[in-house]
């Protein structure tokens, strides 16, 4: 990887903006993403993680790796595909997710442990302070701060052993997030589940 690849890697570096662009074109990346969301009728942005991370996400939101503060008895399984030191990567729900499944099969990830977290892009826009970036080749939106719990719309779990535990936690803590079982890995929309 050459120096330009490193400086242009949106997963680790926010796009550089000049002073005037910061003033006059605030949240340009976010506006671009929201325009794509509107035109392509996208309901959610997807974040894939290991099921063992879900309770930490329900406590703190989706934090950047550099912001993870774990107790000695806690573990957070990092997937380098979407979880980076300085950003959280999210995919459009209209994506074929080919990058993710290719990465998962090459990395020999246990597919049963995959959890899909659906993020409401409008809520995320209201709750985040920093601008976003989009990698249009990979179809990934990069968020450079914690994705707040309030922006999470649903959690799809393929692991039945953890499903009830997570549903119970969400109900007991009165968290407004749908938690459901996804046998095939396909994500149902709220309309389809009702």
What domains does the chain contain, in order, with CATH numbers?
3-13+26-193 (3.20.170.30)
What does the buried/exposed string (b/e) look like for 11-37 if buried means 16 or more CB atoms within 10 Å of the residue's CB? bebeeeeeeeeeeeeeebbbebbbebb
Partners of 92 in the beta sheet? Answer: 45
Percent of the chain with pLDDT over 90: 47
Chain segment 51-99, per-residue pLDDT in tens: 999 999 999 999 998 888 878 887 777 776 788 889 999 999 876 565 6
Name the DSSP class of 155: E
Chain segment 100-147, per-residue pLDDT in tens: 667 777 877 787 888 899 999 999 999 999 999 999 888 899 999 999
pLDDT band at 174 (very low <50, low <70, confident <90, very high): very high
Backbone angles phi, psi at 128, to 5 degrees: -100, 150
Determine the pLDDT at residue 16. 61
Could you tell me which residue, 15 or 149, shows the higher pLDDT?
Answer: 149
Could you tell me which residue, 50 or 100, shows the higher pLDDT?
Answer: 50
Name the DSSP class of 31: H
How many residues belong to the chain?
Answer: 194
């Amino acid at each position: 990887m050459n120096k330009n690849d490193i400086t242009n890697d949106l997963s680790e570096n926010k796009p550089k903006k000049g002073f005037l662009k910061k003033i006059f074109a605030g949240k340009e990346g976010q506006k671009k993403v929201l325009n794509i969301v509107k035109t392509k009728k996208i309901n959610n942005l997807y974040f894939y993680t290991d099921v063992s991370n879900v309770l930490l996400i329900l406590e703190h939101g989706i934090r950047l790796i550099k912001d993870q503060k774990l107790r000695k008895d806690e573990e957070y399984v990092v997937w380098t595909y979407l979880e980076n030191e300085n950003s959280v990567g999210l995919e459009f729900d209209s994506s074929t997710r080919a990058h993710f499944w290719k990465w998962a099969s090459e990395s020999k990830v246990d597919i049963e442990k995959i959890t899909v977290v659906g993020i409401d892009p409008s809520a995320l826009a209201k709750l985040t302070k920093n601008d976003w970036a989009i990698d249009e080749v990979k179809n990934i939106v990069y968020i450079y701060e914690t994705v707040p719990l309030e922006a999470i719309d649903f959690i799809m779990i393929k692991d039945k052993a953890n499903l009830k535990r997570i549903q119970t936690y969400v109900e007991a803590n009165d968290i407004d997030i749908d938690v459901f079982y996804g046998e095939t890995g396909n994500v149902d929309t709220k309309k389809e589940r009702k």
